[in-house]
Chains A and B, each alone.
Chain A
Amino acid sequence: MKPRETRLRDLLLAALAVVALWQIAAWAVGRPVLPGPVAVARAFWFELGRGSLAVHLLASLWRVAASTFLAILLAVPAGLVLGQSARLNRFFAPVVYLLYPIPKVVLVSVLLLLFGTGDLAKILLIFLVLFFQILVLVRDQAASLRPELIHSVRSLGAGRRALFRYVFLPASLPAILTALRQSVGTSVAVLYVAESFATQRGLGYYISLNGSTLFNYPAMYAGILAMSLMGLGLYFGVDWLERRLAPWLYVN
């Protein structure tokens, strides 16, 4: 693991390189559909200051946060139960295998019909994607615990409840964080799809409105920038949580 300063420097260098490539591409294309970084940065500041971009950003952030919270709340216990009971897992594993690979995005219209055009359908869509990722990772983590460890802790007096509290739950923490990190990208992508339909708020709406109705390309890219920054922020958030909650992963 590199020290924090080096990681920050690498990240800044990478950002500079991306911006430079972007500028070169913008010059090469030379059409309004790909404005340069300076124009987009200006639009970003303007839209953020005028208030509408911030509102959309907050709406999107709320949906991602709510669906992530819901997914952790339901998938972690389910994964723990399946992971420590071979019998239950034998029964449910085929179900999980059938449902896991279905691209949940195709369900967007079904969810809209069933749960209306409010936040619930959008939150459920992202939730479905995250739920299976977290479930599978937590289950596999719980199932891979060494029997020696379980025996040792049982010999200290632990019954089922204490095993959950002192073994299965802490053991699944890295799996939860890995699932979260892996799903940041997915949830932002699903967010875009979820917000392109039947809503007037959220970054997905904002991007598609500016891109295909208003043809305000700098504003559209400002929306994309906001979405990327949100993803980056979530990614760093997971990193920060991991350092705080799972320090043993960072020794040696």
Chain B
Amino acid sequence: MIQLDHVTYAYPGQGARPVFQSFSWEAGRGDAWAVLGPSGCGKTTLLYLLAGLRAPQSGSVLIDGQALSRPRPQTGLILQEYGLLPWATVRQNAELGLQIRGFYGPDGTHAPREPHLKVGGDQVSAWLKRLGLAGLAGQFPQQLSGGQRQRTAIARTLVLHPDLLLMDEPFSSLDAPTREALQALTLELCAEHNLTLVIVTHAIEEAVVLGKKILLLGHPPNREALVLENPLAGQPGFRDTAQYLDVCRELRGRLEER
């Protein structure tokens, strides 16, 4: 599904030190990955590379065998905050992707070539209902709680039937119960729609709950992909087991080493 082949990426004007240097990594279809590392390690950069919002200086990013040159219509991206249009209601925000697809038509660049989705259909209503937003459809983002806002962002993404879901610290500004509920929801939706998930986080606990595989990044430049298997992630009650604590402890140790 995802192949990073000897990717080198440096931000312009930051001297010679790249964030990634000849970095290779692979993720399979349906995998649930968590990307963990301290701030400034390049987690978000990795996500933007996968989203096609940044291009590597050398090496290639392949998704489904295709080299990325721009955002891919089947990839969904959910950011920590500020991803919703403040001037649009929940429903209008959820419809935005469909609007944009309607704007370009099925051109294969901005939208998939097969036009199976239309604005004003029932699928937006169905997603709003599924995510508990039906009663809030007419509200503006500033009237919502943080959790409701992220649900809206999820609805907006999933209504487009993505096969790859990229999330950048999506739950880190939420309170603990809301965060845990949305983590459970994410797992449920990924399983249901066979989504490949890459979630970036700085929270060890979140990485262990969501990532069946955990990619550890350290201080740049990142040269090698350090991967930890966490096969029990996503199982109900995993958070309360001894294995969960073991994985957390191991990750904490590895992060300190890096």
A155 touches B142 (CB 8 A): no
In the complex with contacts A151-B48, A248-B87, A159-B104 CB distance below 8 A: yes
Q: Which of A154, A157, A167, A251 contacts B85 (CB 8 A)?
A: A167
**Binary per-residue interface labels of chain B (44-62) against chain A in the complex, 1 for a CB within 8 Å, 0 otherwise:** 0000100111000000000
CA distance A154 to B79 in the complex (A): 12
Is B143 close to A, CB under 8 A? Answer: yes
Footprint of B on A, CB under 8 Å?
A: 146, 148-149, 151-159, 161-162, 165-167, 170-171, 173, 246-248, 251-252
Closest 6 CB pairs of A and B: A155-B77, A152-B83, A148-B82, A156-B97, A157-B110, A248-B140
CA distance A222 to B172 in the complex (A): 63
Apart from the given pairs A155-B52, A251-B143, A252-B142, 5 other A-B contacts in the complex at a CB distance below 8 Å:
A151-B77, A152-B153, A155-B77, A156-B100, A166-B99
A157 touches B77 (CB 8 A): no
Number of interface residues of B (CB under 8 A): 40
Consensus secondary structure, chain A interface: helix
Query: Quick one: which of B87-138 are within 8 Å of A by CB?
Result: 87-88, 96-97, 99-101, 103-104, 109-111
5 residue pairs of the A-B complex, CB under 8 angstroms, read: A149-B82, A151-B83, A154-B53, A157-B73, A157-B110
B79 touches A152 (CB 8 A): yes
CA distance A148 to B153 in the complex (A): 12
**Binary per-residue interface labels of chain B (130-158) against chain A in the complex, 1 for a CB within 8 Å, 0 otherwise:** 00000000011011000000000100110
B110 touches A166 (CB 8 A): no
Residue among B76, B82, B101, B160 having the largest count of chain A Cβ atoms under 10 Å: B82
A151 surroundings in chain B (CB, below 8 A): 48, 51, 53, 77, 79, 83
CA distance A156 to B99 in the complex (A): 10
A155 surroundings in chain B (CB, below 8 A): 51-53, 71, 75-77, 166
Is B86 close to A, CB under 8 A? Answer: yes
CA distance A153 to B87 in the complex (A): 14
Q: Which of A154, A162, A173, A246 contacts B103 (CB 8 A)?
A: A162
Q: Which of B73, B96, B160 contacts A153 (CB 8 A)?
A: B96
Q: Which of B76, B81, B97, B109 contacts A148 (CB 8 A)?
A: B81
CA distance A153 to B157 in the complex (A): 10
A165 touches B87 (CB 8 A): no
Is B178 close to A, CB under 8 A? Answer: no
B48 touches A157 (CB 8 A): no
Residue among A167, A248, A252 having the largest count of chain B Cβ atoms under 10 Å: A248
